[in-house]
Structure 1
Amino acid sequence: AHTMSDQAETVLFRIARGTGLHGLAGIPPRRGCYVRPCLCLTRADTEAYCAALGQHYVQDETNAEDTYARNRIRHEAVPALQYANPAAERSIARLCRQMRALDDWLNAEAAALLQAAAVPGGYDVAILRRAEGPVLDAALHALVSPVRDAEEKYISLLRFVVLHGEGSVQLTPDVNYRVRNGLLVCHTQEGAKVHPAPPQPFEPGEYRLPGGYFVKFQVVKYENFLKNQSIFKKDLNCCADCAKIQGNVILRTRQAGDFYRPAGRHLRKTLKKYYNELGVPQAERPLLPLLADGSEVLWLWGCGFAEGCAPDEYTHEVLTVRTEKTGEA
């Protein structure tokens, strides 16, 4: 299990190789279906706990060797920092938490920027230019990362062509971004390609997403919901108890490990299997919007809210959703 000590080593290694804000956020406590509960404990804490329980554990036999750069950081750099401050690992972990919070905020701003700039065929360069530098860089990072490692040189080149108003950046032999006629467009061997919007924290409101997907989430008082129940009756799967849509809810597209509980079926399916069951074309799946808390999908485009989210007699506010597909890229 990854510990706070692994966190410190990872951040030091990234700093040495060159990293940015995202890298300084360190190893996330949760990513998709992966959960790391031991990040709040140092390696020494974990070993002491196992010893107290008499619990045996396995270590990689190469951990003691200095063949690898990470091991040299563990054996030399970390002890040197602990000589200066015995709580060095905890200090680095605190920095990671602060950077993660800042990174989350910046990613939300970047997602809002891309949403505002999204037009049929690409992104309006004039809107991108008006963004603050760090927000623009975060937005460009979100466009590059699905294609390749978002190295600084690619972000810098893409920022230059956006601010300059023309030019192109070759990300891979098959993918490049071009600025032409005021639009930033992704081109592949198959022609212009649309990438999903980056994940963003969920708030009620209107979202215009890549692929021509429009979603409007609105909060309605339960009394008003009951008065207009005839309007909602045929689309009850598009209504949820606001109190049941809690946690770290993100508006995004599919990720590995996602699962969904179809309303009224009392079962859980991986999103991949559910898409297969519905016959959703492979080409459409990467762009379909959804709401998720971790790997649990709470709302899915075309299918509604998951099992257990529906309003009931204890509901105070109802979350409704209206969708529209324009057919625009």
Structure 2
Amino acid sequence: AVAHTVEDQAETFLLRLIRGAGPRGLAGIRPRAGRVVRPLIEIRRAELRSWIAERGHSFREDASNADLSIPRNRVRHELLPYLAQHFSPGIVEVLAREAAIARDDEAYMGGKAIDLAGLIVLRETDSDDGGPRVRVDPIALTSLPSALGSRVARMALDLGAPGRFAGFEHVARFLGFARSARPGGSLSLPGQQAVRLEQEIVLEPAPPRRAADRGSNSFRFPLSIPGEVVLAAQGWTVEAAEEPPQAAGEAGELAVRVLASAVQFPLVVRSRAPGDVVRPAGMMGRRKKLQDLFVDRKVPRALRDSVPLVVDATGRIVWVVGEPVAEGFRPGGASAGVIFLKARRLGGPG
């Protein structure tokens, strides 16, 4: 049993709403999840503290709960009190009720989607290269209402690459592929690729990288928050989140903090392009050709096309993977609105 309270539920709902979560995310913290139960999920935090005090019990307060650079703490100490004072004194219970409604709706729609997936999605025995192969009926999939089609599509992607993140953009791209791809067409997705055959789509493990592939092709993919872009040919994954990546400590060469207010969204992960310039950290805002930066850093010519760049909607380079975040995007101190970017080489730790 864990001691989440109704405030934790309200905070989770707001955090996920701000990030653009769908019904599954807005369902919030489940009162029971497997062997984990949350018996206090409908109790106010003040009630719990009062109960503890009346009985003379002690408890420990995590000092990090006061750190306003953490999004949940800003929601807890700033946003929720503001909403309670200026909009609704009962906002915590309202948000918890909305989470319960979303949870009930998701349970019903999820059950329907599971039934439909049994008719539309077929997981075969493992393919020759050791991964799962999933077959999907594209006509049946795209004939579903969007609320069910997106759920069935996500189930198919989860079957094809267990444990890999499939976000809204991935599901939308896959559904678009199912509607319009011609036989022989393919689509790269996290940990897998979709191939259109005459009557079906096959999801199979992404092909292994070949040395000849590295740096041979340009790439450009949207990066959602939270989200992940998998660059199988280049050997990288790039992730974005509003909270620190679980495995990251101090921001270093492969994990950086970005000031959200300095960025024009959406973000994109792409390869270099002619004329690219960057404002490297420590150069007082002066611009430098990306080509010159690579030369200074002694990046081999054959690898330069494979270095991921995180770019905002205006085309400004926010981060060259392997370098500090660009000047103008670095947060100062305990800045509010921080995005965490992390890059990891495939086949090794991040």
TM-score normalized by the length of structure 1: 0.54
1:96 to 2:112 alignment: no
What residue number does 1:186 align with? 203
The answer to whether the aligner puts 1:109 opposite 2:112 as a matched pair is yes
Task: Check conservation: 1:165, 1:180, Cα contact below 8 A.
Answer: no
Residue 168 (structure 1) aligned with residue 186 (structure 2):
yes
Greater share of residues in helix: 1
Task: List per-residue Cα deviations over 1:128-164 (Å, max 9, x = no partner).
Answer: 1221111000111222343422211101101101122
Give 1:190 deviation, angstroms: 7.9
Q: Secondary structure at the match of 2:178?
A: helix
Matches within 5 A, 1:125-274: 125-145=138-158, 146-166=162-182, 167-172=185-190, 174-188=191-205
Distance (Å, rounded) in 1 between the aligned partners of 2:157 and 2:30? 20
Assess if the C-alpha contact under 8 Å between 1:25 and 1:97 holds in 2.
yes
Counterpart amino acid of residue 129 in structure 1: T
| SS of residue paired to 1:37 | coil
1:22/1:100 contact within 8 Å kept: yes
**How much does 1:177 deviate?**
2.4
Gaps of 5+ in 2: 125-133, 209-350
Q: What is the aligned-residue identity percentage?
A: 28
CA separation of 1:171 and 1:118: change in aligned 2, threshold 3 A:
closer
Q: Cα offset for 1:37?
A: 1.3
Q: Which runs of 5+ in 1 are unaligned?
A: 192-329
TM-score (norm 2): 0.51
Q: Which amino acid aligns with 1:144?
A: L
Measured after TM superposition, the shift of residue 10 of structure 1 is: 1.2
Q: Which runs of 4+ in 1 moved over 6 A?
A: none
Deviation at residue 178 of structure 1 after TM alignment: 2.5
Residue number among 14, 37, 40 corresponding to 1:38 in the alignment: 40
3-state DSSP class of the match of 1:91?
helix
Q: State the Cα distance separating 1:93 from its structure 2 match.
A: 0.6
Local SS of the residue matching 1:108: helix
Q: How many residues align?
A: 190
Deviations 1:274-325 (A, max 9, x none): xxxxxxxxxxxxxxxxxxxxxxxxxxxxxxxxxxxxxxxxxxxxxxxxxxxx
Structure 1 residues 39-65: Cα deviation after superposition (integer angstroms, max 9, x where no partner): 111211211221222221112111122
1:189 positional shift: 5.1
**Larger RCO, structure (CA 8 Å, separation 6 or more):** 1
SS of residue in 2 equivalent to 1:144:
helix
Using the TM superposition, give the Cα deviation of residue 3 of structure 1 relative to its aligned residue in structure 2, in angstroms. Answer: 1.1
Q: Deviation per CA, 1:6-37, whole angstroms, max 9, x where unpaired?
A: 11111111122221111110011111221111
